[in-house]
A and B are shown apart, each in its own frame.
Chain A
């Protein structure tokens, strides 16, 4: 008797129904089919073997937290599908697992960076910043030690991480140097030529000249930090130990330039070393900055002004994109909603064609159709407009593109919704003597709106963040001469993208703060509209 009665269906039924008690035993026995059982066993078997397979790299890499999560998740899944209880969970878990790992976790991580200064120059810990500043200032000074150098890797010669194998000229001892420092290798593990060059080392692949010169840029930038400076390469077979021109002093928590004597003190609130004259070293570290990113978006004049302008345009864009496509789609759908129109199916197929085309490609094609010199639009109209050169024309252009991409979908949806409206209702208005237009206004349109408002809201939310529509056509252009980060057609999302990954240096923390603003705006607008829809539905139905 393992039957679990749960959910509305079972609650609607008394467990033992005296009036129909002829076959109570039959009713309580849920017949689990052999096929269903087999599927379940196979799937759970796959789950377990997948977890076992996934556990090996975790154990090898000593990721104990990850292993714990894996074991816990597997146990939870097995429990959910082996007990007869928790029926909703059985249906929700598969999607939820993916949602949590690939959506919720990245979003939460991103949101948490909104409170930091994470970005170019502020990526790692303070320790990393100190090492980077010191090694970057390393110069070859007279008398610095020269080493024979071999370049090796622990992985694939073309892509594996680079290490330096160097031989001390005095002691002939071989050491391996990576990004963290030097480590001596046992003499038995290496083969060294008389000139001191390492030709083989256990556990490492020594690169030949061709392989090494293919990666010469990486090798030139590679540094091995040492106590007083760092080891760098000169060419592919020599290395030197240079002295750091800038040294960190733990006692005063500051960086000192050994030649000029200038001092930069660590500022924990900024995550950077700052000199008394206000100069900041480029290399800083990641710190918590509280709400600074949020207040900066609202109070910094160079940002808040363009930001508000972008916000207004963003609304105009989303409303026009959704509204115009809906109006055009509905208009054509209404026009074709009459059995007296011949070739209706042909029209429909042709009208839906844009919807079938890949939108990313068509956006790029449209960009070329707006080309000033040989674009199709100018050719057809016989004009010479620089569409993406002016703010107004660029905005008209992107909305026109949205209209083309979007109205076939609205046409389809409206066609469907129109068919769901009973014809008698419309006929009744005719009997009452109303004009077709009045009948449409009073009966068809309200019913259409009830059916389509949820779709219009989600279309609005989609267009509000329609990254491709702008990025693949104008890239936000035209830009004002004095502000290259915020163009006339930029949406908040493209603006944010440029902040996060733009050429002027990545500002993930600030970009994340803006995306939280975007999220709040869209959430508020959608919630209000959904509320209003509810009311509407009550009024009309």
Chain B
């Protein structure tokens, strides 16, 4: 009995640690006063006032749509781009392959957001020439995030490709398949677990990205959740706290949705990708 008992104890303590801040957020979101100083751990009231204020008096609906679209498109596109590149690195032998793999890792290690001055200057020009891809646009932001598409993800995926027997695509080659048919019809379905994991990581990373978005998206309706919610409590921290927490809870919905959707692949992908990362 003790052999199982300690396991339950550890799990319960872990859950308590995980839950306390979440309870606090929930309680603040339901708190009719909506201030930080009046918030307790357990909900003292139940009102949807914070939620209605959030939708009525801020740009929250816009921020939400912006975040979901930008993170969704950027994550899917970046997963696709790195799946393409990882295929070349895993299955093809070409000049510059090792150098390419190493430089991907190295470029990633440069603190990218310090290039934000350069990015700002660059996008000032782009905004002048092609406003559709400039500041405060979905496309500009997505393209900017796609700059980091190749990188750690490519490494993770390459590791996963390496675990798939080469004989599989070789036999397809014998049967007359083109390289693109091998990639799209044979390998892509097989690497679904790692696509799910990197997709989830990219989605979470993008939705949480604050710094570059803060420079890039300045107009009220173009902001993402990170930028918008931060602005909500930047000025009046105490009074808007309830609204902020309501927004936080709603922000978790897309992430949980993506997580649920990809769940069956995730554990498998995390472990398998890790083994040969």
A-side residues, CB < 8 A to B, are 6-10, 12-13, 26-27, 29-33, 36, 54, 57-58, 61, 63, 87-88, 91-92, 94-96, 98-99, 101-107, 109-111, 113, 328, 331-332, 335-336, 338, 340-341, 347, 350-354, 356-362, 364-366, 368-369, 371, 373-374, 376, 379-380, 404, 407-408, 411-413, 415-417, 419-420, 450-452, 454-455, 458, 461, 465, 467-468, 472, 493, 496-497, 500, 508, 511-512, 515, 518-519, 522-523, 526
B109–A523 touching, CB < 8 Å? yes
Of A92, A104, A467, the residue contacting B113 (CB under 8 A) is A467
A36 contacts which of B21, B181, B230, B244 (Cβ < 8 Å)? B181
A526 to B72 Cα, complex, angstroms: 30
With contacts A106-B122, A110-B117 taken as known, whether A451 is within 8 angstroms of B22 at the C-beta atoms is no
Q: Contacts A36-B178, A451-B271 given; 10 further ones with Cβ under 8 A?
A: A8-B91, A95-B84, A99-B147, A110-B117, A354-B18, A360-B230, A419-B267, A500-B114, A518-B111, A526-B105
The minimal Cβ–Cβ distance linking A470 to chain B, given in whole angstroms, is 12
A519 in contact with B118 (CB, 8 Å): no
Which residues of chain B have C-beta atoms less than 8 A from A57's C-beta? 129-130
Are A332 and B11 within 8 A (Cβ)? yes
The CA of A383 and the CA of B36, in the complex, are separated in Å by 18
Is B176 in contact with A31, judged by CB distance below 8 angstroms? yes
- Count B-side interface residues using an 8 Å CB cutoff: 105
Q: Which residues of chain A have C-beta atoms less than 8 A from B113's C-beta?
A: 467, 497
Quick check: A361 and B41 within 8 Å, CB to CB?
Answer: no
1/0 per residue, CB under 8 A from A, across B113-127: the answer is 111011101100000
Instruction: Check B91–A32 contact: CB distance below 8 A.
Output: no
Specify which of A336, A356, A420 is in contact with B11 (CB 8 Å cutoff): A336
A350 pairs with B19, CB closer than 8 A: yes
Q: Do A522 and B230 form a contact, CB below 8 Å, given A13-B174, A103-B147, A500-B117?
A: no
Q: Tell whether B202 is near chain A: CB-to-CB under 8 Å.
A: no
Tell me whether A461 and B93 are in contact in the complex, defined as CB-CB below 8 angstroms, given that A369-B21, A404-B17, A419-B271 are known contacts: no
> A29: which of B22, B176, B204, B226 is its contact (CB, 8 Å)?
B176
Task: Indicate if the CB atoms of A361 and B251 lie closer than 8 Å.
Answer: yes
Considering only residues 92-107 of chain B, those with a C-beta below 8 Å from chain A are 92-94, 97, 100, 105-107
Which residues of A sit under 8 angstroms from B221, Cβ to Cβ?
none
Q: Closest residue to A518 on the B side, CB-wise?
A: B111
In the complex, chain B residues whose CB is within 8 Å of the CB of A356? 252, 255-256, 259
Is B261 part of the binding interface, using a Cβ–Cβ cutoff of 8 Å?
no
Complex Cα spacing A496 to B229, Å: 25
In angstroms, Cα B40 to Cα A87, docked, is 61
- In the bound complex, do residue B147 and residue A88 qualify as a contact, i.e. CB atoms below 8 Å apart? no
Q: Is the CB of B270 within 8 A of A109?
A: no
Q: How many angstroms between the C-alpha atoms of A497 and B113 in the bound complex?
A: 9
Closest chain B CB from A344 CB (angstroms):
8
> Could you tell me the distance between the alpha carbons of A98 and B104 in the complex, rounded to whole angstroms?
13
CA–CA, A379 to B190, complex, Å? 51
Nearest 10 CB-CB pairings of A with B: A102-B147, A416-B271, A106-B115, A454-B277, A95-B81, A106-B118, A91-B88, A103-B147, A335-B10, A361-B248
Can you name 24 A-B pairs with beta carbons within 8 Å? A7-B92, A7-B179, A9-B169, A36-B178, A88-B88, A91-B85, A92-B85, A95-B85, A96-B150, A102-B119, A103-B107, A109-B115, A110-B118, A332-B10, A335-B11, A350-B18, A356-B256, A365-B21, A368-B36, A415-B271, A416-B271, A451-B271, A452-B274, A472-B210
How many Cβ-Cβ contacts under 8 Å join chain A to chain B? 295
Docked Cα-Cα span, A511 to B113, in Å, equals 12
Q: Is the CB of A350 within 8 A of B21?
A: no
Given contacts A98-B81, A106-B122, A369-B24, are A341 and B8 in contact (CB under 8 A)?
Answer: yes
Contact in complex: A341, B11 (CB < 8 Å): yes
Select one of B92, B177, B244, B251 contacting A8, CB under 8 A.
Answer: B92
Known: A95-B81, A413-B270. A368 touches B110 (CB 8 A): no
List, in ascending order, chain B residues with CB within 8 A of A493's CB. 111, 114
By a CB distance below 8 angstroms, the chain A residues around B100 are 92
- CB pair A110–B114 under 8 Å, yes or no, is yes
Known: A92-B84, A99-B147. Contact between A32 and B18, CB under 8 A?
no
B267 x A412 contact (CB < 8 A): yes
**Interface residue B233 (Cβ < 8 Å from any Cβ of A):** yes
Q: Give every chain B residue within 8 A of A6 (Cβ-Cβ).
A: 92
Complex interface: chain B residues within 8 A of A30 (CB) = 176-178
- Whether B111 and A519, one on each chain, are in contact in the complex, defined by CB atoms closer than 8 angstroms, is yes
Q: Which chain A residues lie closer than 8 Å to B225 at the CB level?
A: 358
B9 CB → nearest A CB, Å: 8
Chain B residues with CB below 8 A from A61, complex form: 128-129
By the criterion CB–CB under 8 Å, are B87 and A91 in contact? Answer: yes
Knowing A358-B251, A420-B275, A454-B274 are in contact, say whether A515-B114 is a contact too (CB < 8 A): yes
CA distance A134 to B175 in the complex (A): 77
Q: Which residue of A lies closest to B87 (CB)?
A: A91
User: Do A415 and B267 contact each other (CB < 8 Å), given the known contacts A99-B107, A350-B18?
Assistant: yes
Distance A413 CA – B84 CA, assembled complex (angstroms): 25
Interface residue B173 (Cβ < 8 Å from any Cβ of A): yes
CA distance A361 to B245 in the complex (A): 8
Does A340 lie within 8 Å of B178, measured CB to CB?
no
User: Which of B14, B112, B154 makes the CB contact (< 8 A) with A107?
Assistant: B112
Contacts of A519 in B (CB 8 A): 109-111
Q: In the complex, what residues of A have CB within 8 A of residue B4's CB?
A: 338, 340-341
Interface residues as binary, B238-266 with A (CB distance below 8 Å gives 1, 0 otherwise)? 00010011011001100110010000001
When distances are taken between beta carbons in the complex, the residues of chain A under 8 Å from B73 are none
Q: Does B146 contact A (CB under 8 A)?
A: yes
Shortest CB distance A1–B (Å): 14
Q: Is the CB of A416 within 8 A of B252?
A: no
- B149–A365 touching, CB < 8 Å: no
Interface-central residue, A27, A419, A454, by most chain B CB under 10 Å: A454
Q: A347-B15, A360-B226, A404-B17 are in contact. Are A87 and B92 (CB under 8 A)?
A: yes
Q: How far is the CA of A413 from the CA of B37 in the complex (A)?
A: 37
Residues on B with C-beta less than 8 A from A335 are 6-7, 10-11
> Quick one: closest B residue to A515, CB to CB?
B114
Shortest CB-to-CB span from B7 to chain A, Å, is 4
Docked Cα-Cα span, A465 to B225, in Å, equals: 22
Q: Tell me if A8 and B166 are in contact (CB < 8 A).
A: yes
B13-44 to A contact mask, C-beta < 8 Å, 1/0: 01101111110110000000000110111000
State whether the Cβ of B188 lies closer than 8 Å to any Cβ in chain A: no
Contact in complex: B11, A468 (CB < 8 Å): no
Closest beta carbon of chain A to B85's beta carbon, Å: 5
